[in-house]
Amino acid sequence: MKTKLKTVHNKIIWLELPALAAWILLMGTFIAPGSFLHALKWMAQNPLLILLNLLPVAAVLLIIYFICANSFVAGGITNFLFGLISYVNLLKIDGRDDPFVPADIALMREALQATGEYRLDMHYGIAALVLLSTALFIFLGIYLGKSEKRRIIPRIVGIVLCAAAFFGAFFTLYRDSDLYNSFPVSVNYNVTTAFDELGFNYCFLYNFDLYSVDRPEGYSESEIKAYIDEFRPREQTQQPQVLMIMCEAFTELTAEDAFSYSDDEQPLKNYFAVKNSDNCISGSIVVPNFGAGTANTEFDVLSGMQTNLISDTSNSALRTFHKSIPTMATALSSQGYDTFYFHQGQSWFYNRNSALSYMGIESLRFDEGETWSDEDFLAELKTELESRTSGGEKLFTYATTIQNHQAYNYAKYGTELPQVQTSAALSPETEECLSVYAYGLKCSSDMLFELTEYLNSLDEPYILVFFGDHLPNLGAGFQGYRELGLNIGETSSPEQVVDNHSTPYIIWANDAYLQGRTMAEAAEGLDLPADGKISACFLGEAALELAGAEDVDPYFSYLGELRRVCPVIKTGIVGYPDGSCTENPTAEEQALISKMHCWQYYRLVTQKLD
C-alpha cells in the first residue's frame, strides 16, 4: 500500500505543490481578522491580488522543496511559517488595532514585554489549525518520503530561479505604490482594513520599510529655507512655567449617556470641576492612533509634526529619526528654559531615551520596573518641580502617566473595585474591563484636581496642559464600545474616523498667570474652534502661544496660521473651525497642508541644528 501511494505521490508532485500553496493562502486569509468570505470576494474582483498574495507562498514553498526534495515537508514548513505570521497579525490587530509588519520582528523584546499588558483572545482554534495542518503535512512527508528526482543541479537551478523571481517581484511589484493605491479599499484611510481586503502577504511585503520617511511630492529644500528666511523671530514676551501631562488612555467616557453615575459618584467629578472652572479652557485633540501609540501622540504634540504624514503606512514616529530635530522643547530651551521629561515606564520602550534626547529634552527621568499610581506620580512630580525651579529657573516639563494603561482586569489593583454603573447590558468581560478603567479615570481625575490646587498655591505663573494620549482598547472588535451603544470603531464617515482618534484636553493656568482674568479671556487670541477640536500637532503650538513664545520658531508660527484655517488634519481628512469635516479639501487647503508636510520633512530629515 505504501509503495503504491509513494508511486502516485511521485507522479503528482507538481499537482501537490500548487494544492499546498493554495491551502496555505486560504488558511492565511481565513486567519485574518476580517470576514473570510468578504476577503475571497474582494480578491476575486481583483485577481491580481491573488497573485500578489500567492507569490511569496509559492516562492518559499518551492525553495524549501528544492532543498529537501519532499513536497509535504516543504508544505509543512511553509504552512507553519505563513500560519505563524498570520496568527501574530491577528493577535496584534486584536490588541492594538494595528497590523503586524516586518519592522515588528526587530522589536520582539518590546512585543514580549507588552504581551502581559493586553487581555488577548488567543484564538486557540486558529493556533490548533496551524499546528495540526503542519503536523499532518510533516507526517505525510515522512511517510511518503522524498521525491525520486533528487539530482542536485536541477535543484540548485530551481532555488536560484525561485529566489530571483521572488526578489525581482519584491523590488518591483511589492514596492510599487501606484499599484498598491490602485486597488480599491472600502476604508482607504484604515490600515487594518487594507490588510484585510488586499491580503496580509501582499501588505506585509509592501510595508517592509515601515519606519522610512517619505519625501513629499513637490518637496523643495530651497522653498523651505525661503520660508525660514522670511521669518523674523521675536523674543518670548512672558515666561510662565509650562507643564504638559499626557494621561494614559484618558477620556470622558463615563460621562456618556450609557453610564448612570450620580454627580457625586461620577469618576470624573474632580476633572469636571477643573474643566468647568474659570481657570480652564478645553477641547479635544485628534491623535494618530486608536487604543495604542502613546509615543506617537508624544511626537505630534512635542514636535508639531504628524506621525500620519511621515509615511504612507502606520509608524512608530520615535524610530524614524536619528538626529536632533527642532521641537517645542528646543524652542523654549532657546528662551532659557530647562527641559524635563518624566515617565514611570521603561526608557527603551518606543526608543524614548534616545528619541527624546534628539527632541531637545535635556533631562529624562524613567522609573523602570516600577508600578506607579497617579497618586505616586503626582507626589514625585511635585518634588521634581520644586527642586528644579527652586532657584528661579524656568522649566518646561512633559510628563506621561501610566496607571490607566491596560490590561483592565481585576487583578490589576488587587482590591475590590466599585462596579461600573451603566444602564447598558454588559457581558462579564466588559463589566470587568469598564470597572477597572473607570477606577483608573477616577485616580487620574483626582490627581489632576490636586495638582491644580497645588499650582494655584504658588506665586510662580504656571500653564498646565492635560490630555489623553489615545482612546482605550475595551476589547477585541471594539466590544466594550459596542455594548455601550457607542459608534467608536465605525469608519463610514470622516467624522467617525476623527471621533475614533479624539481625546480630551484642558489648558489650565493658575491665578498667578491669569492675574484676575479668566482663562477664556487670556486665551481669546488663540482663536480655537468653537468645539475646541484640533489635531494633536497643534496642541504644543497653542501652549507656546499662551507662553508668549509662538514666534520663537518659524515652523510653529506657521502652525498657528494653519490651525486657524484647518484645525484638524488627519490622513486625508480636514476639519474646519465650525466643526465640520471633509475628505475633499480645496486646492488652497491642500497647498497649506503640503507646505506643512514639506516643512516637516525638512525638519525631520534635512535640517541641522546648531
DSSP string, 360-397: T--EEEE-TT----HHHHHHHHHHHHHHHHTTS--EEE
Band of the pLDDT at 345, cuts 50, 70, 90? confident
What are 352's three cell numbers?
524614548
Q: Does residue 283 contact residue 534 with C-beta atoms inside 8 Å?
A: yes
What are 436's three cell numbers?
477597572
What pLDDT, on the 0 to 100 scale, is given for residue 11? 73
- In the chain, the percentage of residues whose pLDDT exceeds 70 is 92
In the block, residue with C-alpha cell 482663536: 527
CA dist., res. 63 & res. 155, Å (int): 9
Q: Which region among 149-163, 223-237, 312-326, 433-447 has the lowest average model confidence (pLDDT)?
A: 312-326
Bridge partners (DSSP) of residue 247 are 468
Sheet holding 581-582, edge to edge: 568-570, 573-575, 581-582
Residue 95 has pLDDT above 80, yes or no: no
CA dist., res. 402 & res. 556, Å (int): 29
Bridge partners (DSSP) of residue 468 are 247
Give the residue-averaged pLDDT of 139-156: 80
What pLDDT, on the 0 to 100 scale, is given for residue 269? 98
Give the residue-averaged pLDDT of 33-55: 90
Query: Regarding predicted confidence, which is higher, 540 or 12?
Result: 540
Give the residue-averaged pLDDT of 54-74: 94
Band of the pLDDT at 597, cuts 50, 70, 90? very high
Average pLDDT, the chain: 90
pLDDT digits (tens, 9 = 90+) for 273-314: 999 999 999 999 999 999 988 999 999 999 999 999 998 765
pLDDT digits (tens, 9 = 90+) for 188-225: 556 778 888 899 999 999 888 767 888 999 999 999 99
Angle at 155 between CA 154 and CA 159, to 5 degrees: 115
Band of the pLDDT at 106, cuts 50, 70, 90? low
Query: Looking at this protein, which amino acid is placed at residue 10?
Result: N
CA dist., res. 248 & res. 404, Å (int): 6
The pTM of this model reads: 0.74
DSSP single-letter state for residue 214: P
Residue 324 has pLDDT above 70, yes or no: yes
Element (H, E) at 463: strand 462-468
CA-nearest of 323, 395, 315, 396 to 357 is: 323
Q: Does residue 432 contact residue 426 with C-beta atoms inside 8 Å?
A: no
Band of the pLDDT at 479, cuts 50, 70, 90? very high
What pLDDT, on the 0 to 100 scale, is given for residue 43? 87
What pLDDT, on the 0 to 100 scale, is given for residue 192? 76
